[in-house]
Amino acid sequence: MKVIPSCFILVLLFLISSSKTNNPEKKKMSKEQTFIASIDQGTTSTRFFIYDKSARIIGSHHVEFTQFYPEAGWVEHDPMEILESVRSCMTKALDKATADGYNVDSGLKAIGLTNQRETVVVWSKSTGSPLYNAIVWMDVRTSSICRKLEKELPGGRTHFVESCGLPLSTYFSAVKLLWLMENKEEVRAAIKKGDALFGTIDTWLIWNLTGGVNGGIHVTDVSNASRTMLMNLKTLDWDKETLKTLGIPAEILPKIVSNAEVIGKIAKGWPLFGVPIAGCLGDQHAAMVGQACRRGEAKCTYGTGAFILLNTGTAPVKSTHGLLTTLAFKLGPKAQTNYALEGSIAIAGAAVQWLRDSLGIISSASEIESLASKVDCTGGVYFVPAFNGLFAPWWRDDARGICIGITRFTSKSHIARAVLESMCFQVKDVLDSMHKDAGEKGEVKNEKGEFLLRVDGGATVNNLLIQIQADLLGSSVVRPADIETTALGAAYAAGMAVGVWKEEELFALGQNIKTASIFSPKSSVEWRKKKVDSWCKAVERTFGLADLEM
């Protein structure tokens, strides 16, 4: 009988033990081969997420970047710093996923992109260098241009609404581009030479990610284009009459594509070389996809600002109550176009940052919930964060922020709670207008007859905020298990484009409700009416304050 060496037996036992590992998760991770990623380029930070086929995050990273305020009401970003933030996030998220045993390099099928909307960049086609800083969506330096156009155009403030769904406002990209053309010689010279390229942040990123000066692709998507004031909502192309009226050359504008199609591949010099960019949506439109909002359903994303969109289906609905008619999404070149009513709120989470950075009332944003929870009301304090004017439904760029009702009794907690309430009051203002525009037939309600607002975004981790929102609305608010629906929506779009997911799967009835948290109202109708009446009085006092002496 042949004797088996003991060392061989030990090796055999080790191999058998390894094959029966008690960590099934690791085993699963090593076999997982399908991933989708998304770039989420926001107003104050950039993030990169990697998802598995079950839409579970397996790696992520975020980086904050610099906010520039050259003058009162002006807000700028450095486009090159944004580029580097994207590179850093891609690299570090990939490193984290790889360290956890995921083979992302071989399994990543596509990347989606979502971005802060309306923010504009003009850069040199030959050098790739920005010709000026990015002018951010909340910047109000263009108010004089808007007033001038209002007086000159026969339709006044609503002159372009019929074509693009948007009123004349400092908010939108076209007037920011006009300011650059009128005030920056470098921009005028580059346009004259045929060396200028214009785009929102998605365009700037895709051009650089796909090669830049070495063949970068100059595109935007229908959702971002719909926020420029230059795209015709029906043809989904640049509106020639608008371009002619404003004197904007079509040659500097990017090609418009759908939200879910292969646009190009990541170029050499970037992480994840060769992976296709297959989805692109403005941040609020991406959140609609991430929340699976079908016709008659609405979502609110609480970020730097707050943005409420109601899917109105395949036909644009004109607002008569201060809202915007805009595009929701178009998930493929041949897919039907979904439209939306939108109410945009300039200052939401930014007010919490102001408490932290400018007043020092809190040292981190997360502290506001515990501070505000120390009191059960604001003690009569009302805060209206009209830092750069008011957007929907008021549209008053002459408004400025106020905090009223202060007494010796007022504490930091009262002010903190008033800031949270201000976010919720603004959302209610928009939803009230939305209900009027959409009508009973334009909204989906649950079995209790409630219109459910779906919420997402970083601020929604604050349970007090969402409870206040439900109390002021008088109806339930639904928070999904994954509140980062903006990044998820971009991933969904990219995954649809390359066949990882099907649209009908993602929009399955009740898919996101099953694991969501539902906040039900605890307030009385009488309390709600008194609070809203007081809020409206506070809002009216912000009007006409922009000209106060410094």
The domain that holds 373 is classified in CATH as 3.30.420.40
Confidence check: pLDDT of 126 > 50:
yes
CA distance 54 to 56: 5
Based on the fold, state whether residues 275 and 395 are members of the same structural domain: no
In a domain, 510, yes or no: no
In a domain, 106, yes or no: yes
Last residue of a domain, one of 240, 263, 282: 282
Looking at the structure, tell me whether residues 229 and 354 fall in a common domain: no
> Is residue 549 over pLDDT 70?
no
The pLDDT value recorded for residue 17 is 46
What global pTM score does this model have? 0.85
The residues, any chain, with a CB within 8 Å of residue 52's CB and separated by 6 or more, are: 32, 34, 35, 58, 102
Residue 446 has pLDDT above 90, yes or no: no
Give DSSP secondary structure letters for 377-432: S-TT-EEE--BTBB-TTT-BTT---EEE---TT--HHHHHHHHHHHHHHHHHHHHH
Counting the structural domains of the chain, the total is 2
pLDDT digits (tens, 9 = 90+) for 270-293: 999 999 999 999 999 999 999 888
End position of a domain, from candidates 282, 310, 338? 282
Identify whether residues 258 and 368 lie together within a single domain. no
Please check the confidence at residue 132 and state whether its pLDDT lies above 80: yes
Q: What is the mean pLDDT of residues 449-454?
A: 82
Whole-number pLDDT of residue 262 = 97
Question: Is residue 321 in some structural domain?
Answer: no
Mean pLDDT for the stretch of residues 41-62:
94
CB 419 within 8 A of CB 446: no
243 is a domain residue? yes
User: What per-residue confidence (pLDDT) applies to 513?
Assistant: 59
The CA distance from 218 to 194, in Å, is: 14
Q: Which domain holds residue 115?
A: 34-282
| Segment 208-225, tens digit of pLDDT | 999 999 999 999 999 999
Q: How far apart are the first and last CA of the chain?
A: 101
Whether 220 and 200 have beta carbons less than 8 Å apart is answered as yes
138 found inside a domain: yes
In terms of domains, do 245 and 353 share one?
no
Q: Which residue bears the tokens 């009794």?
A: 409
Is 355 found in the same domain as 273? no
- On the question of a cis peptide bond just before residue 393, with omega within 30 degrees of 0, the verdict is yes
| Residues 277 and 383 both lie in one domain | no
121: in domain: yes
Residue 137's nearest CA partner among 176, 164, 83 is: 176
Per-residue confidence (pLDDT) for residue 514, from 0 to 100: 61
Among 28-32, 209-213, 471-475, whose mean pLDDT is lowest? 28-32
Q: Do 357 and 268 share a structural domain?
A: no
Burial class (CB in 10 A: 0-12, 13-18, 19+), 261: buried
Say what the pLDDT of residue 304 is. 85
Decide if pLDDT at 399 tops 50.
yes
* Model pLDDT for residues 327-372, shown as the tens digit of each residue: 999 999 999 999 999 998 989 999 999 999 999 999 998 999 999 9
Question: Which of 282, 306, 325 is the endpoint of a domain?
Answer: 282
CA neighbor of 143 nearest in space, from 399, 352, 431: 399
Does residue 141 sit within a domain? Answer: yes
Residue 496 has pLDDT above 90, yes or no: yes
- Asked whether residue 264 falls in the same domain as residue 390, the answer is no
> Is 272 in the same domain as 358?
no
Q: Alpha helices, DSSP H only, in 153-297?
A: 161-164, 173-183, 185-193, 201-209, 222-225, 240-246, 283-290
Give DSSP secondary structure letters for 500-511: SS-HHHHT-TTT
pLDDT band at 13 (very low <50, low <70, confident <90, very high): very low
Q: Residue range 399-419: average pLDDT? A: 95
Residue 233 and residue 316 in contact, taking contact as beta carbons nearer than 8 Å: yes
User: Of 6-15, 63-72, 157-166, 310-319, which range is least confident?
Assistant: 6-15
Q: What is the mean pLDDT of the chain?
A: 89
Confidence label for 438 from pLDDT (cuts 50, 70 and 90): confident
Percent of the chain exceeding pLDDT 70 equals 91
**Quick one: tokens of 342?**
């939108």
User: What is the longest distance spanned by two Cα atoms in the chain?
Assistant: 105
418: number of Cβ within 10 Å? 28
The answer to whether residues 92 and 158 touch, using CB atoms and an 8 Å cutoff, is no
Q: Which of 336, 333, 339, 327 is nearest to 260 (CA)?
A: 333
Q: How many CA atoms lie within 13 A of 495 on its CB side?
A: 27
Report the C-alpha gap between 476 and 522 in whole angstroms.
10
Q: Which residues pair with 311 in a beta bridge?
A: 340
What local confidence, expressed as pLDDT, does residue 318 receive?
87
Q: How confident is the model at residue 3 (pLDDT cuts 50, 70, 90)?
A: very low
Burial 112-145 (b: 16+ CB within 10 A, else e): bbbbbbbbbbbbbbeebebbbbbbbbbbbbbbeb
Residue 260 lies in a domain: yes
Per-residue confidence (pLDDT) for residue 504, from 0 to 100: 83
Same domain, 265 and 354: no
Q: Which of the pair, 374 or 6, is modelled with greater confidence?
A: 374
Residues 260, 397 share a domain: no
Mean pLDDT of 120-145: 95
Please tell me the predicted confidence (pLDDT) of residue 121.
Answer: 98
The angle formed by the CA atoms of residues 476, 366 and 513, to the nearest 5 degrees, is 30
- Whether residue 231 is found in the same domain as residue 366: no
Please report where in the chains the tokens 């040659």 appear, as a residue. Answer: 251
